[in-house]
């Protein structure tokens, strides 16, 4: 079984530019989550998709961030325009059922996309 795949592994952009990060969850996983780790800080929740619907986007920092999951398969996270404080590692995770329900206490994480904004 293929794991959660994230692309690119590392992106370096100038302040003000746009970057799009992509996540391919495990096939058949309806639930997809984005987390990020800003330099020197904890890994924090951004949002949760169930299929193509945003179930919880309470962690999205501001309107420069746009997440989509058209068709309920892969997801993209766009940052436009990027700022210096957006630098960090963006993790994607997926699960077959909603995390926390029926003992489904496991998320499978990808390797992360490292974003560097200069």
Q: Which residues bind other proteins (CB under 8 A)?
A: 3-4, 9, 35, 41-45, 48, 55-56, 58-59, 91, 93, 98-101, 103, 105-112
Q: How far apart are CA 95 and CA 70, in angstroms?
A: 18
Q: Shortest distance, CB of residue 62 to other proteins, whole angstroms?
A: 19
Backbone φ and ψ for 2, nearest 5 degrees, come out as -70, 150
Instruction: Mark residue 71 as left, alpha or beta (left: phi above 0; alpha: psi -120 to 50; beta: remaining).
Output: left
Q: How far apart are CA 90 and CA 114, in angstroms?
A: 6
Q: Shortest distance, CB of residue 15 to other proteins, whole angstroms?
A: 26
* Smaller CB separation from other proteins, 21 or 107: 107
Q: Shortest distance, CB of residue 13 to other proteins, whole angstroms?
A: 20
């Amino acid at each position: 079984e293929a794991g959660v795949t994230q692309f690119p592994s590392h992106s370096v952009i100038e302040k003000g530019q746009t970057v799009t990060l992509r996540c391919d969850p495990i096939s058949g996983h309806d639930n997809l989550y984005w987390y990020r780790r800003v330099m020197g800080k904890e890994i924090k929740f951004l949002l949760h998709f169930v299929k193509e619907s945003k179930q919880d986007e309470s962690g999205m920092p501001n309107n420069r961030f746009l997440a989509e999951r058209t068709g309920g398969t892969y997801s993209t996270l766009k940052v436009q325009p990027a700022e210096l404080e957006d630098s960090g590692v963006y993790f994607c995770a997926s699960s077959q059922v909603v995390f926390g329900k029926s003992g489904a206490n496991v998320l499978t994480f990808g390797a992360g996309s490292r974003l560097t904004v200069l």
